[in-house]
């Protein structure tokens, strides 16, 4: 069975045709429970997200800040497994028909087996993977299997990336380029800043692949700011924080729906 890289590309192209950026939400699998995580992702789509990244909880994250680390810890203590991540992808894609990616560090895939992971993700209806710690020069095996199974390979670029390095990354990445708006870990910020726009412009000079910005966006005004220069706006910590701060799981799901609605207005310039 082939994965949904084409659905991902079509979704980003449709947003561009509407004259707006796509809204991409991130939520970890298994948080607060597997069923609760599935409900939250459906709520993000209901609220207006175009694409969702499902986080594969990991005990040693390098990109995730304290909010997402807290959620990952809850999921890991709850016993979340890769099978639960695949179930999350399968059920949310089946319920919505929207593109669902997995964001994961390399070690869990390496231990699970690349062929097994890509085959199962494609079978679940997944659109691809975001791999923040997999160097391009070491990605050959992953790329081979991802391409075979119709999955996008999304790499992360940072403000520190030199132009030659950007070209090296964008030459082999597919789906979209994840542009980290600043140096550091995930988390909400008071402002996203000019660094992100400069990175998007430098990245676009090397590729026609859509460039989506993450790290720091937490409200509709920031989403509108980033949407003026990026193809997609990625929001994670703000969704997770809303769930952590909620008095119960149902309120957490509703907080996700409400925030997605506000951010969706932001990317459409309606905030």
The answer to whether residue 254 is catalytic is: no
DSSP string, 3-37: --HHHHHHHHHHHHHTTSPEEEEEEETTSS-HHHH
Beta strands in 88-181 (DSSP E): 100-103, 128-130, 152-154, 156-157, 177-180
Question: Of 10, 50, 64, 201, which residue is the catalytic one?
Answer: 64
The answer to whether residue 147 is catalytic is: no
* C-alpha to C-alpha distances, 214 to 33, 36, 181, 252, nearest whole angstrom: 25, 24, 6, 22
At residue 100, the 3 state secondary structure works out as strand
Quick check: 152 and 178 in contact, CB under 8 A? no
Question: Of 50, 53, 84, 231, which residue is the catalytic one?
Answer: 53
Q: Taking the CA atoms of 49, 201, 175 and 155 in sequence, report the sign of the dihedral they define.
A: negative
As a dihedral over the C-alpha atoms of residue 81, residue 93, residue 176, residue 109, rounded to 10 degrees, the angle is 20
The residues that are catalytic are 53, 64
């Amino acid at each position: 069975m082939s994965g949904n890289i084409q659905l991902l590309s079509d979704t980003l192209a449709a947003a561009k045709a509407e004259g707006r950026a796509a809204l991409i939400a991130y939520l970890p699998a298994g948080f607060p429970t597997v069923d609760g995580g599935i409900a939250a992702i459906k709520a993000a789509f209901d609220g207006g997200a175009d694409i969702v990244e499902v986080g594969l909880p990991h005990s040693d994250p390098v990109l995730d800040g304290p909010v997402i680390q807290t959620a990952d810890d809850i999921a890991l203590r709850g016993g979340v497994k890769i099978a639960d991540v695949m179930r999350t992808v399968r059920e949310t894609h089946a319920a919505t028909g929207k593109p669902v990616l997995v964001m994961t560090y390399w070690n869990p895939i390496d231990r699970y087996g690349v062929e097994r992971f890509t085959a199962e993700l494609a079978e679940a209806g997944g659109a691809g993977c975001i791999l923040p710690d997999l160097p391009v020069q070491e990605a050959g095996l992953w790329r081979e299997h991802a391409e075979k199974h119709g999955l996008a390979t999304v790499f992360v670029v940072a403000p520190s990336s030199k132009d030659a390095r950007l070209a090296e990354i964008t030459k082999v990445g597919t789906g979209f380029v994840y542009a980290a708006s600043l140096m550091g870990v995930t988390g909400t910020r008071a402002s996203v800043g000019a660094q992100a726009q400069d990175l998007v412009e430098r990245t676009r000079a090397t590729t026609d692949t859509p460039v989506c910005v993450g790290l720091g966006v937490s409200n509709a005004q920031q989403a509108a700011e980033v949407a003026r220069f990026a193809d997609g706006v990625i929001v994670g910590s703000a969704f997770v924080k809303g769930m952590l701060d909620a008095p119960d799981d149902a309120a957490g799901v509703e907080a996700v729906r409400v925030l997605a609605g506000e951010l969706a207005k932001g990317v459409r310039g309606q905030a």
